[in-house]
Amino acid sequence: MQLPVDARIEAQHLITTGLPMGVPFDREDAPNLSRELDGLCDGLKCSRPAEIVFAAEFAVRLQRDERGFWRAKRSTLVIGWPLLQLLDADELRVALALALSEEIVTPGAFAGGAADQRIAQWLGRGLLQRTLSRLLAAQAVLDSAGLQDWSARARCEAKPPVAALAQLRACIEARGRGNWHAELQRALGIVEVAARLAPLGGADLTGGSHRNAAQAMLWEGLCTRIWTALEAPFLTLLTPHWQACYDASAPCRERAKVLTAQRRAAQLDLAGLIELAELIEFLAGPRAAHPLFQQAYAQQRQPSLALALARTMIAVDAARATVALSRLAASSYPVAEQARALLDSLPTRAVSPSLTPEFAHKGAITS
């Protein structure tokens, strides 16, 4: 059956369209950031936002409130708290300048660019280049730091974890700000951004601090307080996208139950076994699917099954998987190109532990 591969949780989904729930910005609590914002508004010759809020979303943006004549010019600067963990203090300065110039700053693919020349002249071409490169790579970093795992879990678990933001925090902190070059290359291969980065000299992550902007500009107690306060708003933001993944995967879960029952009754043919293996890989991860692909390959040694076996072996024995994929990549089989692509992705591939779906606990799946 057709797998709903588009049902996933991405950073761009976790952005509100209006005023978010968050932590109001206090100038006395964050004097360094206050001075930075004042300098940006003076340099850009723009009015200061009426309000500033730290939000759980994955964006830095300016929210206009145009309700009524007297409130036409009222604006709120929304500073996405996760971005303060991904950018350093200098990169945050560029992100804030872009947001004050009416651009929505998010990880991954980005549009805009109208203010690039002015910001490059003021803050430096190299810093703008590095910040845009950092944002571009951030999507892949966030995937490996938790969003990819959440997308997989949401296929079988009806609700997100209660402490979702705390989990994301731990993953981001473990990932750190170093060695993002592989993620940047992956992003450049997927997203068309040459038109914006070309005038800046292309993508470049050279330089920058190992400390993120929150560590550099805010005191530790305030950071802890903000993480705690944003837990509930983040769960509210995440839940509908998690639910959408869960709902989209319902046909796959039901089909897997049917095929599992047939397998128990020894009524499953090879085509059904392959379908079940693919469904289990989608729902429960490669480790859970690996024994099923082993069984299918033992019945019929075809290149497509060899590729599936090697692909799922990455979660079981990465060294053996590399050998198997190398052999397939060097072969004349139609799957050689796919094997080469998997080999290229191995250094940065995030291999998550197998996820046990909810229905597996009920005995619906046996390997």
Would residue 367 count as lying in a domain? no
Q: If you average pLDDT over residues 154-159, what whole number do you get?
A: 94
Say whether 78 sits in a helix, a strand or coil: strand
Contact residues for 210 (Cβ-Cβ < 8 A; gap 6+):
176, 177, 178
User: Is residue 101 very low, low, confident or very high in pLDDT (cuts 50, 70, 90)?
Assistant: very high
**pLDDT score for 35:** 95
More confident residue, 53 or 199: 53
Q: If you average pLDDT over residues 286-308, what whole number do you get?
A: 96
Could you tell me if 227 and 307 lie in one domain?
Answer: no
Would residue 4 count as lying in a domain? no
**pLDDT score for 20:** 84
353: pLDDT strictly greater than 80? no
Q: If you average pLDDT over residues 38-46, what whole number do you get?
A: 92
Could you tell me if 195 and 259 lie in one domain?
Answer: no
**pLDDT score for 346:** 80
- Rounded Cα gap, residues 116 and 131, in angstroms: 11
358: pLDDT strictly greater than 60? no
**pLDDT score for 19:** 81
User: Of 219, 245, 271, which closes a domain?
Assistant: 245
Could you tell me if 141 and 234 lie in one domain?
Answer: yes
User: Of 208, 228, 245, which closes a domain?
Assistant: 245
User: Is residue 365 very low, low, confident or very high in pLDDT (cuts 50, 70, 90)?
Assistant: very low
Could you tell me if 256 and 237 lie in one domain?
Answer: no
Could you tell me if 235 and 355 lie in one domain?
Answer: no
Q: Average pLDDT over the chain, rounded to whole? A: 88
User: Is residue 73 very low, low, confident or very high in pLDDT (cuts 50, 70, 90)?
Assistant: low
Would residue 50 count as lying in a domain? yes
Q: Which residues of 270-298 are buried (b: 16+ CB within 10 A; e: fewer)?
A: eeebbbbbbbbbbbbbbbbbbebbbbbbe
**pLDDT score for 334:** 94
**Tens digits of residue pLDDT in 204-222:** 999 999 999 999 999 999 9
More confident residue, 64 or 168: 168
Would residue 253 count as lying in a domain? yes
- Rounded Cα gap, residues 93 and 99, in angstroms: 10
Could you tell me if 108 and 219 lie in one domain?
Answer: yes
Would residue 86 count as lying in a domain? yes
* Portion of the chain with pLDDT greater than 90, in percent: 74
User: Is residue 144 very low, low, confident or very high in pLDDT (cuts 50, 70, 90)?
Assistant: confident
**pLDDT score for 195:** 76
Could you tell me if 240 and 302 lie in one domain?
Answer: no
What does the block give as tokens for 238? 């995440």
Question: Nearest Cα to 296, choosing from 304, 284, 288?
Answer: 304
Could you tell me if 228 and 258 lie in one domain?
Answer: no
198: pLDDT strictly greater than 90? no
Would residue 5 count as lying in a domain? no
Could you tell me if 184 and 322 lie in one domain?
Answer: no
Phi, psi of 80 (to 5 degrees): -65, 115
User: Is residue 310 very low, low, confident or very high in pLDDT (cuts 50, 70, 90)?
Assistant: very high
According to DSSP H, which parts of the chain are helical? 31-44, 81-86, 89-100, 116-123, 125-142, 148-153, 164-175, 181-190, 194-197, 213-217, 220-229, 231-248, 250-264, 270-284, 286-299, 303-313, 318-329, 336-345, 358-361
Asked whether the beta carbons of 304 and 274 are under 8 A apart, the reply is no
Would residue 302 count as lying in a domain? yes
- What is the domain range of residue 276? 249-361
Number of domains in the chain: 2
User: Of 245, 269, 302, which closes a domain?
Assistant: 245
Could you tell me if 211 and 290 lie in one domain?
Answer: no
Q: If you average pLDDT over residues 179-187, what whole number do you get?
A: 87
* CATH code assigned at 303: 1.25.40
Q: If you average pLDDT over residues 181-190, what whole number do you get?
A: 83
120: pLDDT strictly greater than 80? yes
Asked whether the beta carbons of 9 and 58 are under 8 A apart, the reply is no
Q: If you average pLDDT over residues 236-260, what whole number do you get?
A: 96
15: pLDDT strictly greater than 80? yes
352: pLDDT strictly greater than 70? no
102: pLDDT strictly greater than 80? yes
Could you tell me if 220 and 277 lie in one domain?
Answer: no
More confident residue, 8 or 354: 8
Would residue 199 count as lying in a domain? yes
| Span of 77-81, 92-96, 360-364 with lowest mean pLDDT | 360-364
Amino acid of residue 180: W
Task: Say what the pTM is.
Answer: 0.85
**pLDDT score for 70:** 53
| Span of 54-58, 74-78, 109-113 with lowest mean pLDDT | 109-113
More confident residue, 67 or 326: 326
Q: If you average pLDDT over residues 253-280, what whole number do you get?
A: 97
Could you tell me if 226 and 257 lie in one domain?
Answer: no
Question: Nearest Cα to 56, choosing from 31, 74, 82?
Answer: 82
249: pLDDT strictly greater than 90? yes
